[in-house]
Structure 1
Amino acid sequence: MGSKKELQAAIAVLGLCMLVFGCTKTAESENSKKQVKIGVAVYNEEDVYVSKICGYLEDEIFQYEKDHPGVEIRKKIADARGSQQEQNDQIDQFISLDYDLLLVNIVDRTNAAVIIDKATQADIPVVFFNREPVREDIFRSDQIYYEGSDAKQSAILQADVIADALEKDRSKIDRNGDSVIQFAMLEGESGHQDTLIRSEWVLKELENKKIPTQQIAGSTGNWEKNQANVIVRQWMKEYPNQIEVIISNNDDMALGA
């Protein structure tokens, strides 16, 4: 995920915000700005991708206010530091303070129903982003939205890159000449839907392209550059000259690799 993707994600999230602003409860007088309070709940603000989305979201809010002088957007970010209980408490506080809109980067995607039911009861729209709740939960209310990347498409594009590289110069990829691609998989956070989908579909697409593969190693890098760096250094010691391709679930881990 490069900066362009993160900017697009932030714009898309803010675009959804604009769609639901018409449902907000904050009163607007003829002589005052319409104030909209947005509560942003993130699973871990230190996550590079999430941090960049929040930064771009700030920029987009600034631009929106500039283009719409009758609107004032007040945004507060709450960092759950990987704790679903902490995030639930933070969202409870947003609801008690009568926020107009919740943007939620959920810790545990199976916990969305709790958040959705509370927000729906309080008549507060929720936009989940980046970390997709269980799909059944998204349809619990017509005030629930999700914005995220197409993980399957990302995986297929990865397979395309490998296939193109093989076609261009097979000897650079298939170094041992056995017509099988020996690979190692750097996976994102365990249980994250993008981890599961990208890991599965990149291999399915390689199979569809009639490219035989053999997995030499695999590990969870939690989307983090430094963790990936440590993992790959260890792989280089354990499997010298055996790994021909490293498949990474995101750009940051790929940079670490």
Structure 2
Amino acid sequence: MKKIFKKIMIFIITFVMMTSTLMHHNVKMTSAILNIGTRKSVDVGVLLNNFYNPYNLLIKKKLEDIQKENENKINFTFFDGKANPAIESEIVNNMLKSNYDLLVLGVVDEDQPKLTEEFVYKAKQKNTPLIFLNLNPAISNTIKSYPKSIAINNDSVQAGILQGNMIVDAWNTDKKNIDKNGDNIMEYIMIKGQPSSFAATERTKNSISTINKAGIITKELEEVRANWNPDLAKSIVEQLYLKYSNKIEVIIANNDAMAMGAIQALQKYGYNMGDKTKSIPVFGIGGVPETQELIKKGFMAGTVSQNARDFADAIYSIGMNLALSKDPLEGTNYKFDKTGVIITIPFQEYISQYTK
């Protein structure tokens, strides 16, 4: 009798354990299925320092394309900083209150150190990951203090060198038309971004040094700052044309937006309408579709091109890692530069009406 009772008890215990295991497994399976069905997309707030820069709008378009290609996986919401630090600060405060999974911040150059420090401090309190766009390496220590923040930059040194090479090609190809007074000196106007901008400094320095290294003598008529703004560049070039007139042989701009503004100013005086004999070569950086069209028409001399999709892909890949609490470079081919927190996206080539 005891043996029979013992067997019954063993059977009951075994049955209970198996049932419990199966129920636990089913609960886990049900939970996983529910999670798959209800998993929310990663919500990303993107602050661009202005919407008048065609390159910023191109990045916005490429991120929108990525969102469409990854439906229910990521959602970008875009904000225009209007090149105003106070507006940018207010936008970021509101984004943090809205509990985005990730913030992507393109901060106006002039107040970048102050704003970067402010945003890192506030994001750290909320444990919100950050990606800064085109951060000055001099302030990289600020984001080093927060492991969930990194920066993605354009390679401004390379951009300046490519722009310089493009201008050298133009000079050597069409010197007769460019060197208006035949003195063998390239007389130019440089249109820079904002005064404190790392990108503006490196693009300017490397563009001119590349031209000089090629044995071309240069003379700077004016160096002006148009803060990356096409309207400001247009206004400045209108005044400079009245001041220098035919002495201007080349206009070099730190980005395509300001180059487009310069062309609009020259066209006001009948220049850059397609006739090379009545044209002042204007060179930009960015390679946006608008400037490529101007080059095709013969209105603009050339631009340095970067694949905006490459830049947007870096934001997406690294951003997803940060939002999901992974190593930012996991599963990617990106590498940090010597700062340990900045990834640099290269430019590919230049597009010029002087190259065959």
Aligned-pair distance for 1:130? Answer: 3.9
What is the CA deviation profile of residues 82-110 of structure 1, one whole-angstrom value per residue up to 9, with x for unaligned ones? Answer: 33233223222322332210010113211
Match of 1:90 in 2: 91
Match of 2:232 in 1: 227
Q: In 2, distance between residues paired with 1:197 and 1:207?
A: 15
Number of aligned residue pairs: give it.
Answer: 225
2:169 to 161, 164, 183: 164
TM (norm. structure 2) is 0.58
Match of 1:64 in 2: 70
Match of 2:56 in 1: 50
Q: Is the 8 A contact 1:187 1:199 kept in 2?
A: yes
1:217 to 211, 215, 222: 222
The answer as to 2:96 corresponding to 1:119 is no
TM (norm. structure 1) is 0.78
CA RMSD of aligned residues (A): 2.2
Match of 2:187 in 1: 182
Match of 1:10 in 2: none
Q: In 1, distance between residues paired with 2:86 and 2:53?
A: 19
SS in 1 for 2:41: strand
Q: In 2, distance between residues paired with 1:84 and 1:256?
A: 23
What is the CA deviation profile of residues 169-221 of structure 1, one whole-angstrom value per residue up to 9, with x for unaligned ones? Answer: 33223232222211111112332222121112212222222222111123222
Q: Counterpart amino acid of 2:239?
A: Q
SS in 2 for 1:241: helix
Q: In 1, distance between residues paired with 2:104 and 2:131?
A: 5
The answer as to 2:174 corresponding to 1:173 is no
Q: In 1, distance between residues paired with 2:236 and 2:86?
A: 30
The answer as to 2:206 corresponding to 1:205 is no
Match of 2:81 in 1: 80
Match of 1:32 in 2: 38
Q: In 2, distance between residues paired with 1:94 and 1:162?
A: 43
Unaligned runs of 5+ in 2: 1-33, 263-356
Unaligned runs of 5+ in 1: 1-27, 66-70
Q: Identity of paired residues, percent?
A: 29
Query: In structure 2, do the counterparts of structure 1 residues 59 and 247 end up closer, same or farther at CA, with 3 Å as the change threshold?
Result: same
Aligned-pair distance for 1:162? Answer: 1.6
Q: Is the 8 A contact 1:131 1:192 kept in 2?
A: no
Q: Is the 8 A contact 2:63 2:76 kept in 1?
A: no
Q: Is the 8 A contact 2:194 2:225 kept in 1?
A: yes
Q: Counterpart amino acid of 1:74?
A: N
Q: Counterpart amino acid of 1:100?
A: D
Q: Counterpart amino acid of 1:242?
A: K
Match of 2:113 in 1: 110
Q: In 2, distance between residues paired with 1:85 and 1:37?
A: 24
Aligned-pair distance for 1:72? Answer: 4.1
Q: Is the 8 A contact 1:132 1:146 kept in 2?
A: no
Q: In 1, distance between residues paired with 2:92 and 2:260?
A: 34
Aligned-pair distance for 1:131? Answer: 5.0
Q: In 2, distance between residues paired with 1:228 and 1:86?
A: 23
Query: In structure 2, do the counterparts of structure 1 residues 254 and 87 end up closer, same or farther at CA, with 3 Å as the change threshold?
Result: closer
Query: In structure 2, do the counterparts of structure 1 residues 163 and 75 end up closer, same or farther at CA, with 3 Å as the change threshold?
Result: closer
Q: In 1, distance between residues paired with 2:83 and 2:215?
A: 40
Larger Rg: 2
Q: In 2, distance between residues paired with 1:160 and 1:57?
A: 31
Q: Which moved more, 1:235-244 or 1:166-175?
A: 166-175
The answer as to 2:237 corresponding to 1:236 is no
Q: Is the 8 A contact 1:229 1:253 kept in 2?
A: yes
